[in-house]
Amino acid sequence: MTIMGIDVGGSGIKGVPVDTEKGELIGERFRLPTPEEAKPDDVADTVAKVVSQFNWEGPIGVGFPSVVRGGVIYTAANVAKSWIGTNAEELFRRSTGCPVYVLNDADAAGMAEMRFGVGADRSKGLVMMITIGTGLGTALFIDGKLVPNTELGHIEIRGKDAERRASDAARQRKDMSWAQWGIKFNEYLNHLERLFWPDLFILGGGSSKEFHKFSKYLDLKADVVPAKLLNQAGIIGAALYAEMRNKEM
């Protein structure tokens, strides 16, 4: 089946149709900058522009950087606070004219990686996906089943929100070398390991393609691997989610 996948990020909104049987993008991703302040109507207009680029009229899945329950946004760490309480599914349906299904962006990436990526053969045990970008997203899977909306990028480390110390945005903001950042990111992963004891960490998001630059600074008991789908995972996972929800309707 072909479903449109959209990934709403702190810096960019990206989308493309996805072959959900193969877990592959159909064509090149189209990306527009996330509007300044990332207010609901502005983001909805940008999502509509991405969709119109493909003349798309079918179901759409959207990965969004927030806790999402029943299509409603509950948190707003990297978007405008006015998102809180907004029914994103209704908003995006109005702006695109299409059936739209919204989930947490890291959960979307994790779903794709567990089906088509390095997690595909890890149906037993505990797997944690970390997306590294403007923030730190997390997706937790127990015996292959998603525990949604974990938002573990916001745990406190040394008195600060973890993603303020160890996201890729923090690395760039503080002009850290990969060694400096790798040490901070390792501290974050160790904190998660002491809390959850996962069997596997999968690292996704934009920084996953630079895994070779910081992997030597990671010291954990769990296996740590880069995502196979890299930063395509969020789009693919959003499409998978939309396919699942659309079948339920």
Tens-place pLDDT, residues 16-36:
999 999 999 999 999 999 999
Residue 10 is predicted with a pLDDT of: 86
Is the backbone of residue 127 left (phi > 0), alpha (psi -120 to 50) or beta? beta
* Extended beta strands in the chain, E state: 2-8, 12-19, 24-25, 30-33, 60-64, 68-69, 72-73, 100-104, 126-132, 136-142, 145-147, 156-157, 160-161, 200-204, 223-226
What is the end-to-end Cα distance of the chain in Å, rounded? 16
Cα 47 from Cα 65, distance rounded (Å) = 14
The mean pLDDT of 153-168, rounded to a whole number, is 94
pLDDT at 14 over 70: yes
Range in 48-52, 82-86, 117-121, 237-241 with the lowest mean pLDDT: 117-121
Q: Do the domains at 2-107+232-248 and 121-227 have one common CATH topology?
A: yes
The whole-number average pLDDT for the span 157-185 is 95
Looking at residue 15, its pLDDT comes to 98
Predicted pLDDT at 62:
98
- pLDDT tens, 118-147? 999 988 999 999 999 889 999 999 999 999
- Report the SS3 class of residue 59: coil
Domain boundaries, the chain: 2-107+232-248, 121-227
Give residue 249's pLDDT band: very low, low, confident or very high (50, 70, 90): low
CA distance 159 to 195: 17
Whether residue 238 has pLDDT greater than 70: yes
236 in Cβ contact with 107 (< 8 Å): no
Q: What pLDDT score was predicted for residue 28?
A: 95
pTM: 0.94
Task: Write the DSSP assignment of 75-133 as a string of letters.
Answer: --SSS-GGGTT-BHHHHHHHHHSS-EEEEEHHHHHHHHHHHHSTTTT--SSEEEEEEES
**Of the CATH numbers 3.40.50.2000, 3.30.70.2190, 2.60.40.1120, 3.30.420.40, which one belongs to the domain with range 121-227?**
3.30.420.40
CATH 3.40.50.300, domain 2-107+232-248, yes or no: no
Residue 164 has pLDDT above 90, yes or no: yes
Q: What is the pLDDT of residues 174-205, one digit of tens each?
A: 999 999 999 999 999 999 999 999 999 999 98
SS3 content of the chain, % helix, strand, coil (to 5): 40, 25, 35
Q: What is the pLDDT of residue 114?
A: 97
